[in-house]
Amino acid sequence: ACQHRLWPEIDRISMEQLRYARLGVGEGGWQLFAEDGEMKMYKREEEVNGMVVDPLKACHMVRGVTGHEMCHYFFSPDVRMDWETTVEQMTVIETIAEDTLVFLQVHKRIWPASQRDSLFWSHMRQVPDHNDRDGHDIWIVCNHSTENPDFPSNNGKFVRVTLTVCLVCQTFIDPPKDGAQIVRDNITCKITYCSVVNPGGWAPASVLRAVYKREYPKFLKRFTAYVIDQCKEKPIMF
């Protein structure tokens, strides 16, 4: 992967997104728009050329899974269609490395907007976390739009969205008493999910904002429930 032409961009954007995810929501005009238990969703209202591109930042605490497990299932193409209900087709068009893939996805049409597709590299990485006492690393998956001459955007069929998404997960362990073995009940995963999606072509602001408001909470709740369900009978992947 390190000699691939995209590697410098992949490395830079992934680390930028890690820093961005770890910034609090105290400053920068974030407004809380959805809450569900431990999950808090914030957005900023932004438009580019009259198109809604509202950045999103979601913070969540999930008990019983590790950050490695959360990122593993988010990254894996094999299980994508099991939890990602807003995607109609998903293809891996390039394998840059075992932790770096290029996806082409066709998203379900959201009336009255025209149907969208997305083409993005996806990179998973473990990052040592210096200021974390119990020494558990941070896992990140970063998805960022890219181009590929074999799959030109606006090929007449779909409008190509551009996106930058990151899932940053940190594992916290509440060690059991008397040195007993760690079980899932002793584990909590702190998730920060950030996303900026540019619709790539005009769509009514009111429709897009309603879609964002409805779809993001559903998406994150469904994904985290899926990971909990997949992991509960399996050995812990730290």
Ligand X SMILES: O=S(=O)(CCO)c1ccc(-c2ccc(C3CCCC3)c([C@@H]3C[C@@H]3c3ccccn3)c2)cc1
What is the contact surface with ligand X in residues (CB under 6 A)?
A: 84, 86-87, 105, 107, 110, 113, 116, 118, 143, 161, 163, 165, 195, 197, 199, 203, 211-212, 215-216, 219
Measured on CA atoms in the order 28, 24, 46, 41, is the torsion positive or negative?
negative
Query: Alpha helix locations (H) across 108-199?
Result: none
User: CA-to-CA distance for 232 and 65, rounded, in angstroms?
Assistant: 8
CB of 224 to ligand X, least distance (A): 13
- The residue among 53 and 187 lying less far from ligand X, judged by its C-beta, is 53
| CB of residue 51 to ligand X, shortest distance in Å | 9
CB of 156: closest distance to ligand X in angstroms?
17
Shortest distance in whole angstroms from residue 223 CB to ligand X = 8
Kindly tell me which of 83 and 187 has the beta carbon lying closer to ligand X.
Answer: 83
Q: Which alpha helices (DSSP H) does 31-106 contain, by range?
A: 67-75, 80-83
CA angle (175 as vertex; 63, 194 as ends), nearest 5: 35
The residues, ordered by sequence, that sit 6+ positions from 178 with a Cβ below 8 Å of its Cβ are: none
110 or 140: CB nearest ligand X: 110
- Give the span between the Cα atoms of 170 and 220, in whole angstroms: 16
- Identify each DSSP E strand in 146-217 by its residue range: 159-160, 162-173, 187-198
Q: How far is the CB of 19 from ligand X (least distance, A)?
A: 19
Q: Encoding tokens for residue 69?
A: 């497990």
Give the DSSP letter of residue 184.
G
Instruction: State which residue, 105 or 236, has the beta carbon closest to ligand X.
Output: 105
Nearer to ligand X, 165 or 189 (CB): 165
